[in-house]
Amino acid sequence: MNELQSRTEMSPRHKTVLIVEDEILIRLLLAEELASAGFQVIQAANADEALRVLESSVTVDLMFSDIRMPGTMDGLGLAERVRSTWPGIKIALTSGHLPELPAGAPADLFIPKPYQPARIGAALHDLLGSGTNDLN
Amino acid sequence: MTSTEAGAPSAATVETLLVVDDEVLIRLAISDYLRECGFKVIEAASAEEAIVVLEQSGKTIDLVLSDVEMPGSMDGFALSAWIRTHQPGLPVVMAGSPSRAASAAAELCETGPQLSKPYDTQLLIDHIRRLLGTRKASPAATFPDASQSGITPLL
């Protein structure tokens, strides 16, 4: 079968995670782990790339973003924007500089760095209610 | 398509690709297509990121597929020159436009780990065009293509 499956047509049981992380080595490691955990993974290097993806026809179920990033917007600004524009997207934030989220920060989950990439998959599945039992 | 091969990979199996493109939608469409063909794909948003992957990730990269025009201090040509100096023998394929990147990906899939392409190159090109077309504020697309008259080709 040679049918093009656009992301919007992918099996709904495979959730799509948008990773926003400016450090390439962290990003690629995380992408590999989350793909192994059964997610469709999209990689963005900064908030601008993340917004480009979000504004396209690509379906995103969850955004996992670093807070401190260079560019026009950091992770908190990006989270605010996602929450107001795309309220259905779950948001997980991570930071190596903050021990916890600032009060009122728009996120469903906070994961401090350093984290074990292998354990992020389970945490994100929990957040989405999409454990491996749901994947067939 | 400009193709620069720093060394013949005839004896080596190409399994892991490094895709370098500063346009995230193109990068993800091309990368996912190549994954469907059975390749492992690492994505870089810039020549600088590509070099970090090549120097520090510990991953074995078999071939680099890179956009030509990229912002920052290094474009695709500069990346290719860096690779020739620091990792001679690593093949670099450069693509100056999304449709050329799609053609390059299709060629790679012809002899990829899975011997069949997941879908036609034209479907991939159309997919990329649709993705780019749904952006709220999209700059003028410059894809050299017979069906888009009046558009200035990049390469």
CB A121 within 8 A of CB A34: yes
Chain B residues within 8 angstroms (CB to CB) of chain A: 24-25, 28, 32, 42-46, 49, 52-53, 56-57, 59, 116-120, 123-124, 127, 130-132, 134-136
Q: Using 50, 70 and 90 to split pLDDT, how confident is the model at B116?
A: low
Closest approach of chain B CAs to the CA of A107, in angstroms? Answer: 24
What residues in A contact B25, CB-CB < 8 Å? 52-53, 56, 58
Report the chain A residue with the minimal C-alpha distance to residue B130: A57
**Residue A72 lies in domain:** 11-129
Q: Using 50, 70 and 90 to split pLDDT, how confident is the model at B124?
A: confident
B45, B130, B134 member nearest A49 (Cβ): B45
Asked if the Cβ–Cβ distance from B53 to A28 is below 8 Å, we say yes
DSSP-derived pairing of the beta strands B92-95 and B3-4: antiparallel
- Structurally, chain A folds into a number of domains equal to 1
Cα A28 to Cα A31, A33, B18, B145: the distances in Å are 5, 9, 11, 33
Cα A9 to Cα A4, A5, A58, A75, A112: the distances in Å are 9, 6, 10, 28, 33
**pLDDT value, residue B65:** 98
Q: Which CATH architecture has domain B11-154?
A: 3-Layer(aba) Sandwich (3.40)
> Distance (Å, rounded) from C-alpha B96 to C-alpha B135?
21
Domain extents for chain B?
11-154
Alpha carbon of residue A102 to chain centroid: 19
Residue A3 lies in a domain: no
What residues in A contact B122, CB-CB < 8 Å? none
Report residues of chain A scoring pLDDT below 50.
Answer: 1-3, 5-9, 11, 134-136
Q: Which residues contact A118 (CB under 8 A, 6 or more apart)?
A: A33
Q: Residue A117 carries which side chain, given as an amino acid letter? A: P
> What is the enclosing helix (H) or strand (E) of A110?
strand A109-112
A109 touches chain B (CB under 8 A): no
